[in-house]
Each structure stands twice: as C-alpha cells, then as structure tokens.
C-alpha cells in the first residue's frame, strides 16, 4: 500500500521513516542525495496537512546516545533542501519526543533524534516499537536503503500502525522489479568491486537470473586465477578458486554467459598515474597488478550491452578512484548511459561505490534508476527478502 491508500492526511501524525545516513565531514553533509530523494514525500505529506515526524538512524552508536552520531547537524541541509523549517526533538521516544510532536501544527515537519540511541531499535524490541508508535497515527516507510535491517523503526512499526510505502520506497521497488524480477530480456549484470568473498551469494543468485554476467574489478582476478592464469601481484583470493569455479559451472548450467576480462591495464604501483601497460590476461607480468580492464575487454562489454535490454550494475570494473585506472568503468558507464538515453536499455545501478563511479563518469543522472541503497541493494541482488519491505507487504 502506498500513500495513495492512506486516506486524508489532514491533521494526522505521520511517522515517516527515512534514511538520513549520509556522508558527513567536519559536521557538514558532503553528499545530500539521500536527503534530496525524500524531499518530495515530505512535501507531499506536509502539503496534505499531515504532521511529518521523521524517524531515522545515523551511524552505529550501539544503543547509547553518542554526540558524534546525532542527527542534529543534518538539520540545516534538510531544511534547506525542503525550503521550509524543520523542528528537532532531542529524543525519538519518551517525554522529549511527545513534547516536540505535541507542538506540531498541520503541515509542520519534525526530525527526531537517532533511533539507534536506543538498544530496542536494533533488537526490534516490541516495547520500543510501541514507544515510537505512540507519536504517530500512521507509518510510512521511505527507507528502502535500510530495509535489509529488521529494526523497530524499519520493521516493527509496520506491525503496529497502518503502514504504507513512501514514494522513494515505491520508486526503488519498481526499478528493482524492472531490473531482475520481470525485466526486458536479455539481461546483463555487471558486478565489480574488490572481493569475491563479499559477493558470493550475489553472484550465485545472478547466474540463475541474468543472461550475461560481466565480472570485473579485483574479484575478476580470482576467477582468472581459477582458470589457471597467473595474475602476478594482483588482488586475488586464491582460497576462493573453488568457489569461483563453482559459480562458472553454475553459469554454464543456467545458460548465463560469463564475461571475464581478456586484457587488462597493469601497473607495478597502486597509485594514480603509475606507469602502466595493457596486456592480455595470459601475459600479466609476475611483478605487476591488474588495476583495470583493457580496451579489448571494454569493447566486448560494450558489445554485450548492445545486445541487452536491461542492465543491472554493482561495483566498479577497476581502481576507478585512480586515473587512468578509471578508464574501463568510465567508458562502459558512458556507453550504458548512451544506450539508456537512446531508449534501448533499462539501466539500474546501486551500491555505494557504484554510484560514486557513475557520478565520476558524469552519467549518474543518465541511468534509468540509481538506487540510494548500499547494503540493501546488495541483499536484493542476493535474492534475499528485505524485512522492511516484507513488513509492508504483509499489510497487503
Ligand atoms: C546504509 O547506509 O546503507 C543504511 O543506512 C544502513 O546502515 P547500516 O549498515 O548501519 O545498517
């Protein structure tokens, strides 16, 4: 159920769970994307006369108040993006919360302090969830990116109050469904990043669902090693060779074409502008490390994207934070963006590094959908049920 099913909001106290876990430096927000993406829902509820009570976590304070994890420093950015004042409550439950909520008029917006200041949040404690619920007439979950956590404010509350998906939650679920559940085929997935060990479940789930799977980044080295290639000094989890082999075999059984790099940009030092050369993956010098895919691999990946109608992307293809080892990620991202803009591809991307990589390539806006989620996006790619989403579904 979405906001459309919530009935008149005039005068209603709406507990709106958002994800304000944004990067901060020196007390200032350095990337406001997550804030910007929840602004339309806050406005929609406030403009309908609802009293918006924002619930959110920040950092991992382990159930105790810790000033470094306060949500207060986010207030100026939130208020600026909303272009309206936002009140602050020093606690999310108890007297301080009740007082702040009681002071609200219709259409006002209030942010309550970090839900993780209470141990009951992460324990999904029923009593804590009831204390949160006391301040609301209904609950709207807008935090897809925290939906992999079965916490009181992401899961428990949905059982206590009339519960609805917010607009961003709806958009995320819609995009993910188009990405993997009922996609236009063929589907290609690009999975990069440093380690196979963090993405075994994800790769196993994807080979069963997609038609083509590009494996890049450091994790590709483990697969190349499993195929008997010498990857020199490259990052490589040799103990996972068998796992890599198992994934390759499963892919074959499921008719999923695996695309591994055929050539690579190698260097002797892990630093920007390190002296580098392109070699085939059969000829990686023993003292060199693979830091990006090579030109021939880029052409192969671009060609595969041309055959696909849906792309799901998680993880960079190389050490994109160091030039020129961003070349592969940037080239492929731009190619996918161009196909998307031409209406030939539905492209869905997610995960912390991925979004940074797409922005670095200047195409963050050109994909069909870029998720705000990190861990939740990964768990969805793994095929897991997300408790925050399931709790909403259970409500019908
Ligand atoms: C995130 O930043 O991915 C979410 O806010 C979840 O945060 P967590 O990993 O601390 O639960």
- Please give the full DSSP string across 112-146, using - where no structure is assigned: E--GGGSHHHHHT-HHHHHHHHTT-SEEEE--GGG
Q: Whose CA is nearest to atom 2 of ligand 1?
A: 21
Q: Whose CA is nearest to atom 7 of ligand 1?
A: 146
In this structure, the dihedral spanned by the alpha carbons of residues 163, 166, 169 and 173, taken in order and rounded to 10 degrees, is 80
Listed in sequence order, the residues at least 6 apart from 336 whose beta carbon sits closer than 8 Å to its beta carbon are: 305, 311, 313, 345, 347, 363, 367
The residue annotated as part of the active site, out of 1, 72, 159, 195, is 195
Q: What is the pLDDT of residue 91?
A: 98
CB-based contact 295:310 (threshold 8 Å): no
Q: What is the pLDDT of residue 116?
A: 98
Instruction: Reduce the DSSP state of residue 348 to 3 states and report it.
Output: strand
Query: Is 204 annotated as contributing to ligand binding?
Result: no
Query: Is 19 annotated as contributing to ligand binding?
Result: yes
CA of 87 to the centre of ligand 1 (A): 24
The C-alpha atoms of residue 376 and residue 199 are separated, in whole angstroms, by: 13
Q: Which helix (H) or strand (E) holds 87?
A: strand 87-89
Q: Does ligand 1 come within 6 angstroms of the Cβ of 122?
A: no
Q: Whose CA is nearest to atom 3 of ligand 1?
A: 374
The C-alpha atoms of residue 246 and residue 216 are separated, in whole angstroms, by: 17
Q: Does ligand 1 come within 6 angstroms of the Cβ of 154?
A: no
Q: Does ligand 1 come within 6 angstroms of the Cβ of 375?
A: yes
CA of 69 to the centre of ligand 1 (A): 13
The C-alpha atoms of residue 76 and residue 15 are separated, in whole angstroms, by: 20
The C-alpha atoms of residue 120 and residue 222 are separated, in whole angstroms, by: 41
Q: Could you identify the atom of ligand 1 that is nearest to the CA of residue 373?
A: 3
Q: Whose CA is nearest to atom 4 of ligand 1?
A: 146
Q: Which of 149, 355, 371 to mutate to test the pocket of ligand 1 (most atoms within 8 A of CB)?
A: 149
**How would you class 268 by CB atoms within 10 Å of its CB: exposed for 0-12, middle for 13-18, buried for 19 or more?**
middle
Listed in sequence order, the residues at least 6 apart from 352 whose beta carbon sits closer than 8 Å to its beta carbon are: 374
Tokens (6 digits) for 60? 């991992």
Q: Could you identify the atom of ligand 1 that is nearest to the CA of residue 352?
A: 3
Q: Does ligand 1 come within 6 angstroms of the Cβ of 19?
A: yes
195 a catalytic residue = yes
Q: What is the pLDDT of residue 351?
A: 87
185 a catalytic residue = no
CB-based contact 148:155 (threshold 8 Å): no
Listed in sequence order, the residues at least 6 apart from 42 whose beta carbon sits closer than 8 Å to its beta carbon are: 16, 18, 52, 54, 82, 109
Q: Per-residue DSSP letters for 223-244? A: HHHHTT---TTS---GGGHHHH
Maximum Cα–Cα distance across the chain: 70
The H-assigned helical ranges of the chain are 33-47, 75-82, 94-102, 119-123, 126-133, 157-160, 167-176, 200-209, 217-226, 241-253, 295-307, 327-341, 352-360, 375-381, 387-394
ipTM: 0.99
Q: Which helix (H) or strand (E) holds 191?
A: strand 187-191
| pLDDT tens profile 136-182 | 999 999 999 999 999 999 999 999 999 999 999 999 999 999 898 89
Query: Is 34 annotated as contributing to ligand binding?
Result: yes
Query: Is 130 annotated as contributing to ligand binding?
Result: no
Q: In what order do the strands lie in the sheet with 369-370?
A: 257-259, 212-215, 187-191, 310-314, 346-349, 369-370
In this structure, the dihedral spanned by the alpha carbons of residues 90, 96, 101 and 104, taken in order and rounded to 10 degrees, is -70
CA of 262 to the centre of ligand 1 (A): 36
Q: Per-residue DSSP letters for 250-268? A: HHHHTTPEEE--SEEEEES
Tokens (6 digits) for 302? 């671009």
Domains of the chain: residue spans and CATH: 3-165 (3.40.50.1260), 173-381 (3.40.50.1260)
Q: What is the pLDDT of residue 340?
A: 98
Task: Using 50 as the pLDDT threshold, list the residues of the chain that sit under it.
Answer: none
Query: Is 20 annotated as contributing to ligand binding?
Result: yes
CA of 73 to the centre of ligand 1 (A): 18
Listed in sequence order, the residues at least 6 apart from 239 whose beta carbon sits closer than 8 Å to its beta carbon are: none
The residue annotated as part of the active site, out of 12, 34, 229, 339, is 34
């Amino acid at each position: 159920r979405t906001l459309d099913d919530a009935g008149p909001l005039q005068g209603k106290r709406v507990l709106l769970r958002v994800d304000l876990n944004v990067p901060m430096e020196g007390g200032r927000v350095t990337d406001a994307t997550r804030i910007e993406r929840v602004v339309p829902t806050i406005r929609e509820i406030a403009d309908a006369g609802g009293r918006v009570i924002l619930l959110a976590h920040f950092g991992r304070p382990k159930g105790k108040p810790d000033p470094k994890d306060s949500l207060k420093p986010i207030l100026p950015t939130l208020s600026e993006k909303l272009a309206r004042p936002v009140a602050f409550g020093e606690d999310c439950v108890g007297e301080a919360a009740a007082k702040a909520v009681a002071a609200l008029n219709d259409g006002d917006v209030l942010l309550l302090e970090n839900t993780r200041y209470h141990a009951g949040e992460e324990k999904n404690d029923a009593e804590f969830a009831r204390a949160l619920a006391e301040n609301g007439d209904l609950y709207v979950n807008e935090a897809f990116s925290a939906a992999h956590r079965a916490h009181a404010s992401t899961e428990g509350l949905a059982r206590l109050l009339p519960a609805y998906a917010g607009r961003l939650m709806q958009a995320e679920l819609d995009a993910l469904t188009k990405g993997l559940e009922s996609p236009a085929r063929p589907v290609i997935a690009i999975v990069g990043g440093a380690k196979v060990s963090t993405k075994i479940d994800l790769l196993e789930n994807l080979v069963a669902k997609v038609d083509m799977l590009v494996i890049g980044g450091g994790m590709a080295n483990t697969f190349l090693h499993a195929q008997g290639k010498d990857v020199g000094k490259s990052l490589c989890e040799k103990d996972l060779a068998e796992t890599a082999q198992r994934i390759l075999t499963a892919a074959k059984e499921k008719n999923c074409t695996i695309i591994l790099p055929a050539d690579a940009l190698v260097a002797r030092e892990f630093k920007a502008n390190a002296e580098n050369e392109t070699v085939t993956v059969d000829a990686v010098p023993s003292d060199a490390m693979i830091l990006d895919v090579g030109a021939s691999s880029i052409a192969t990946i671009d060609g595969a994207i041309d055959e696909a109608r849906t792309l799901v992307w998680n993880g960079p293809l190389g050490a994109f934070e160091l030039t020129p080892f961003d070349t592969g990620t940037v080239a492929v991202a731009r190619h996918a963006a161009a196909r998307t803009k031409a209406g030939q591809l539905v492209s869905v991307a997610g995960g912390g590094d991925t979004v940074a990589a797409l922005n670095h390539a200047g195409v963050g806006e050109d994909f069909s959908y870029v998720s705000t989620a990190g861990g939740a996006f990964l768990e969805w790619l793994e095929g897991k049920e997300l408790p925050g989403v399931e709790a909403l579904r259970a409500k019908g």
